[in-house]
Amino acid sequence: MHKHTGLLIAGFLSSTVFAGAALAAGTHLQTGEALADDQTFTYRILDEHSSVDPQVVEDVSGAEIVRDLFEGLMNQDRDGNLVPGVATGFTTNDAKDVYTFTLRDSAKWSNGDPVLASDFVYAWKRAVDPELSSPYAWFMELMSIENAAAIIAGEKPLDDLGVSAIDDHTLQVRLSAALPYFPQMTTHSTTFPAPQKVIETHGNAWTKPENIVSNGAYILTEHLPQERSVRERNPLYWDNENTIVEKVVALVINDENVALTRYMAGELDRTEVPAGQFPRLQKEHPAEAISFPRLCSYYYTFNLSEDGPEAFKDPRVRQALSLAVDRKIITEKILAGGQPEAYTFAPEATAGFTVPEVEMSAMTQSERDSLAKELLAEAGYGPDNPLSFNMIYNTSESHKKIAVALGQMWKQKLGVQTDLGNLEWKVFLETRGNQDFDLARGAWCGDYNEASTFLDLLQSNSGYNDGKYQNDRVDALLAAAKISDNTTKLYTEVEQILAQESPIIPIYHYAGVYMMDSDVGNWPVDNVEQNWYSKNLYKIAE
Amino acid sequence: MIAYIIRRLLAAIPTILVLIVASFFLMRFAPGGPFTSERPLPPQVLANIEARYGLDQPLWKQLYDYLFNIIFHFDFGPSFKFKDRDVNDIIAQGFPISFTYGALSFLVATVVGVSLGIAAAIRHNTWVDYFAVGLGIAAQALPNFIMGPILILTFTLWLGLLPGGGWHGGQWQYLIMPVIALSTSYMGSIARITRSSMLEVLNSNFIRTAHAKGLPTRTVIWRHALKPTLLPVVSYLGPVFVYVLTGSVFVDMYFSTGGLGQAYGGSALSRDYAVLLGVTILYGILTVAVNLLTDLAYAWFDPKIRF
């Protein structure tokens, strides 16, 4: 057995540097900052969350709340490193297909019951239970837990799931394949424990504030759908003495401009900056307008299926279109929120991923444009035989601006005719999923912080490969990366093939662009997944 | 009269049934479903979810079960999007909110609109008239999705007088902006309709007769002119009443009131069939009821109408 305590200790130290002990009386013990008397953090969410049931929640704002209410085996620190949660550590075998987690005995539910290994076993079985039919059941499959797929398919009983409680504080997980990044996946809300007795007593209504029992640093005290939800400090949380923020309020504000107005009026501590407004806000409020990289990519995908246009089957055409996109105009003139330009699919912010040298990124835009013209001419398209195709995107002001800009660039530089199609979200998803398009907008945020969460999308049989790109070499490299200890070489080659063949046009990588009140301390800007925990925040006295 | 009401109520049953069936099928014809998402679900996971909500059954069976549950259990089913809530919950939570700010908006729009219209008609071609007409047109030109942001900028950011949104159980501070935003454009329309209707009535023979027999103007207006004036206004108010009562997507969106409007709009976009259908039925029943009330009101306003 290999001990992984080294990693854990390092992670734990880095997290305690900032998030560590500080008590009600005035100053933060590590930073020495004076703490505000009112430790309430109020932030805006775009839409009502889908649920606060850890096994059921499927949206980002719901998961943010669940991460405060419940605690899984492992947590992330401000940089996204793994730190202990309910588990104090874990061990794995040589084959990396059995993981054993040791649970701390001080962990308690908010009703005083101890958090036991059996609570995790119950929760994980619940996640794959066809009867609960969790939309995130696939995450358990992704984690390669033994028999997860068969149980979801109804072919095996729940009890065959590869997870068991060796004793009250030891949890063993058996995987169907080696997975070096398995522990990282236990920070995901689907894997959080669930209180069996409470769920069995209240059924679907167990997540209502009057019924809910949770094991995280906060408990849900109020929920007014479409208006607000409030969570307050849980005095029974094992690390309660290090929690500083007393109360967290999430306000549902659908319109981002209204949210910004309310932020300016002092009603919010955090809100998103609408596209294009960042430069002005940064000038007027330099301490509050912040932008940092996120683990997401924005791209356009070519339809390479049978139904796709003949022209796109020629890689030169695809490459020419990709080259002619002046990404700087999109990131600096349209979005203007500090988004990095993208020449590769996986963002630079991905852990353990070095952006490979792709030819295009080293060229100037005019070099790219002239190469694009050459390639397109070679492929037989020009003034006599103009290239024309449709491109679809879903309704949104900034998607529209970007699509118009792309069409304009291609028209001016290459004489290409584009036909823009603006589709309502569900119609868009269906159209794209049925390969009923020539070129379609796409965006992807990593499910976990590792390059495969992006690159796997281009695997031939991936359910997310809407462009139906097929390349045996790419498939082989991605399969090899699953069990390799050194993935850099493999991912570099995949990205180089992608740059050469251009099945997609990467456009930019996302940035978190916020207005954040300067009295909010320790916001994890370096956590690219933006997995933040209210227990690590604090409010500084003004 | 009683017989008429019973007849109308009986006729409402097939109307509502047709509404349910038509909406049920129309919804299904819209591309995409409640579980279409950016990350397509693996087929097995999707199959489990569809089985749970009965979406794997043939359409006629789904419709039958749906109607059966409504009629015998008054259960409109679970929401597909908000996994821990059902449609009854969502309506019970959202409707009282929409009803409160909707009824208040209706009251404000009607009282202010009718007063403005009457004042303008009586003082025809004076500054009162010009002022009322100007105000009416301005109000009409400001739909709630323009009023919303303007109000929040003014009262919340610049003046700092009112909270920018939320409901808080309907405390007055939280009601002012939604009510203003929702009532302004209706108020404008009501003022315009009242004014032109009143002008027409004031020019009719029976009013001239009333003046001729020496009745004081006040009596002429209140006793003889008002009722016929309000007839066209009432036929406009019927649909407006249903509309404001069922909440407004824009009010809910801008003021985070948590009313039914947002639930309705949101459910259409997320293809939350059960919520969409449940709220549609509620709107249908309200429409039928309000139409009946409007018709009964006609009889009071116009003695010539008899049922």
Full 3-state SS string of B134-182: HHHHHHHCCCHHHHHHHHHHHHHHHCCCCCCCCCHHHCHHHHHHHHHHH
Return all residues near A266 (Cβ < 8 A) that are at least 6 apart. Answer: none
Has residue A65 got a pLDDT over 80? Answer: yes
Q: How confident is the model at residue A469 (pLDDT cuts 50, 70, 90)?
A: very high
Please tell me if residue A443 touches chain B, with a CB cutoff of 8 Å. Answer: yes
Q: Do B152 and A262 touch (CB under 8 A)?
A: yes
Among chain B residues, the shortest Cα distance to A443 is held by B38
Write out residues in chain B with pLDDT < 50, as ranges. Answer: none
Q: Model confidence over A106-135: pLDDT tens digits?
A: 999 999 999 999 999 999 999 999 999 998
- Residue B146's region, left for phi above 0, alpha for psi from -120 to 50, else beta, is alpha
Please tell me the predicted confidence (pLDDT) of residue B102.
94
Residue range A149-175: mean pLDDT, rounded? 96
Has residue A180 got a pLDDT over 90? Answer: no
Q: Looking at residue A540, what DSSP letter applies?
A: B
Please tell me the predicted confidence (pLDDT) of residue A25.
53
Give me A455's structure tokens: 């690159």
Measure the CA–CA gap between A405 and A445, rounded to whole angstroms: 23
Q: How confident is the model at residue A10 (pLDDT cuts 50, 70, 90)?
A: very low
Which residues on chain A are in Cβ contact (under 8 Å) with B94? 225-226
Please tell me the predicted confidence (pLDDT) of residue A20.
42
Closest approach of chain A CAs to the CA of B199, in angstroms? 42
Has residue A8 got a pLDDT over 70? Answer: no
Please tell me the predicted confidence (pLDDT) of residue B207.
93
Residues A479 and A461 sit within 8 Å (Cβ to Cβ): no
Average model confidence (pLDDT) across chain A: 92
The closest CB to that of A429, out of B38, B157, B262, belongs to: B38
Distances (CA, A) of B297 to B4, B224, B242, B290: 13, 17, 15, 10
Residues B274 and B87 sit within 8 Å (Cβ to Cβ): yes
Give CA angle at A522 (A519, A524), nearest 5°: 125
Q: Looking at residue B221, what DSSP letter applies?
A: I
Measure the CA–CA gap between A161 and A145, rounded to whole angstroms: 7
Give me A428's structure tokens: 């868009």
Closest approach of chain A CAs to the CA of B295, in angstroms? 36
Which residues on chain B are in Cβ contact (under 8 Å) with A149? 44
Measure the CA–CA gap between A222 and A250, rounded to whole angstroms: 10
Please tell me if residue B160 touches chain A, with a CB cutoff of 8 Å. Answer: yes
Residues B116 and B136 sit within 8 Å (Cβ to Cβ): yes
Which domains are assigned to chain B?
2-73 (no CATH), 93-301 (1.10.3720.10)
The closest CB to that of A463, out of B30, B40, B94, belongs to: B40
Residue range A286-306: mean pLDDT, rounded? 96
Closest approach of chain A CAs to the CA of B98, in angstroms? 12
Has residue A6 got a pLDDT over 60? Answer: no
Give CA angle at A215 (A211, A217), nearest 5°: 110
Residue A246 burial (10 A CB sphere; 0-12, 13-18, 19+): middle
Q: Do A225 and B270 touch (CB under 8 A)?
A: no
Among chain B residues, the shortest Cα distance to A206 is held by B84
Write the DSSP string, A403-444.
HHHHHHHHHHHH--EEEEEEE-HHHHHHHHHTT--SEEEEEE
Among chain A residues, the shortest Cα distance to B78 is held by A204
Q: Model confidence over A227-271: pLDDT tens digits?
A: 999 999 999 999 999 999 999 999 999 999 999 999 999 999 999
Q: How crowded is residue B3: how many other Cβ atoms within 10 Å of its Cβ?
A: 8
Residues A54 and A192 sit within 8 Å (Cβ to Cβ): yes
The closest CB to that of B271, out of A50, A255, A426, belongs to: A426
Write the DSSP string, A377-404.
HHTT-SSSS--EEEEEEES-HHHHHHHH
Please tell me if residue B150 touches chain A, with a CB cutoff of 8 Å. Answer: no
Which helix (H) or strand (E) segment is A84 a member of? Answer: strand A82-84
Residues A389 and A439 sit within 8 Å (Cβ to Cβ): yes
Q: Model confidence over A489-536: pLDDT tens digits?
A: 999 999 999 999 999 999 999 999 999 999 999 999 999 999 999 999
Please tell me if residue A60 touches chain B, with a CB cutoff of 8 Å. Answer: no
Query: Could you tell me which of A61, A31, A25 has the C-alpha nearest to residue A46?
Result: A61
Give me A187's structure tokens: 């920070």
Has residue A13 got a pLDDT over 70? Answer: no
Has residue A1 got a pLDDT over 50? Answer: no
Amino acid making up residue A221? T
Query: Could you tell me which of A299, A297, A294, A296 has the C-alpha nearest to residue A442?
Result: A299
Residue A185 burial (10 A CB sphere; 0-12, 13-18, 19+): buried
| Percent of all residues in chain A with a pLDDT value above 90, rounded to a whole number | 80
Measure the CA–CA gap between A333 and A109, rounded to whole angstroms: 50
